[in-house]
Amino acid sequence: MEDVYTEKSLAERFCRHYLDTLAVCLPKAYRTYGFEYEFLPAGMLGIQDMVRIDRVLEKLGGQQSGGDRKFENGMLVTFEPGGQIEYCSPPLHADEVEKFEELLAFIGFVNERIRSSLGIEYLGIGFLPGRANYPLCLRSPRYLQLHRRLARAGARGHEMMKGTASIHLHISIGNLDELLPLFYFLCELSRSEGFGMSSERRDIWNHTDPTRSGPPPCCSETLSGPEPLIERLIRYALQVVVLGEEVPFEQSTDRSFSAFLYHMTTIFTDVRFNLKGPTLELRTLDSMPVDNFRTKWLQFIDMAKTIR
């Protein structure tokens, strides 16, 4: 049985773990970028529809990767609880425009094949109303726990799970010194007209679980370096309710570092730090038609390249 830790000692211990982990993988010779691109189904789907879509992905060459499908071009295809399909790109260099275009063409091809084979149409749109009571298309403990949590924590969490779609933009961290400038850069983008949420999606987020959604608290704070940022994000996460337990992490049953890393993946703030990569994620952009995303991606790359 693990010793009981106060919030202060937990934060200190996890900060050391974080910094030790980063020391192993940093510095990197170059920065990479990536995206997660969600599409909403035009109609209501159920679990059996997910099975049918997965069979189409398998026929197209997608290899099993956990519960997802991985393709030769590096694209990982997965699903969200409302039946949203999500395309997760491989890491891309800033100048890999041709590769990016190939991935966009692949997304269009797969969506069209699903439509022609199954009659299921996927839309590049940020929100479709009236889906709070649609069935859950994923039944893993993670999503069942989140569904139960959001039934109590806010008025519109089920709409978030089943009726919204977004595009997450990723930047890998090349060295520790650029973590804070990149974090502030993404925070600024999250509040901008071009990369922020639409008013419809923002209203949903404002009425979802207040302990795990919205802007991270340190977006508007003046911090002196990467270590204070990591500590601040960790202290915030320690106060977030653990799915399935309904207590903050600092009071949860399993307070190991691995449990904490999983816990952090259940927090969906506008900007999020992910040790995998390691990357920073901008999570505010509404989903959109593929042609519109091309322009948005190039704008994002051009701006991000100037941040050091």
Q: pTM of the prediction?
A: 0.95
Tell me the pairing of strands 166-172 and 33-41: antiparallel
* Residue 3, pLDDT score: 47
Q: Do 265 and 277 touch, CB atoms closer than 8 A? A: no
Q: Do 67 and 77 touch, CB atoms closer than 8 A? A: no
User: At residue 68, what are phi and psi to the nearest 5 degrees?
Assistant: -110, -175
277 band by pLDDT with thresholds 50, 70 and 90:
confident
pLDDT tens readout for residues 218-270: 888 899 999 999 999 999 999 999 999 999 999 999 999 999 999 999 999 99
Domain range list for the chain:
28-218+268-304
In SS3 terms, 252-289 reads as CCCCCHHHHHHHHHCCEECEEEECCCCEEEEEEEECCC
Half-sphere exposure of 256 (CA within 13 A, CB side): 6
- Domain 28-218+268-304 grouped into CATH 3.60.15.10: no
pLDDT tens readout for residues 85-102: 999 999 999 999 999 999
Q: Write the CA distances from 6 to 72, 102, 175, integer angstroms.
A: 47, 50, 31
Q: Do 86 and 38 touch, CB atoms closer than 8 A? A: yes
The C-alpha atoms of residue 169 and residue 187 are separated, in whole angstroms, by: 12
* Residue 60, pLDDT score: 98
Q: Name the residue among 300, 258, 281 with its Cα closest to residue 88.
A: 281
pLDDT tens readout for residues 167-198: 999 999 999 999 999 999 999 999 999 999 99
The C-alpha atoms of residue 211 and residue 207 are separated, in whole angstroms, by: 11
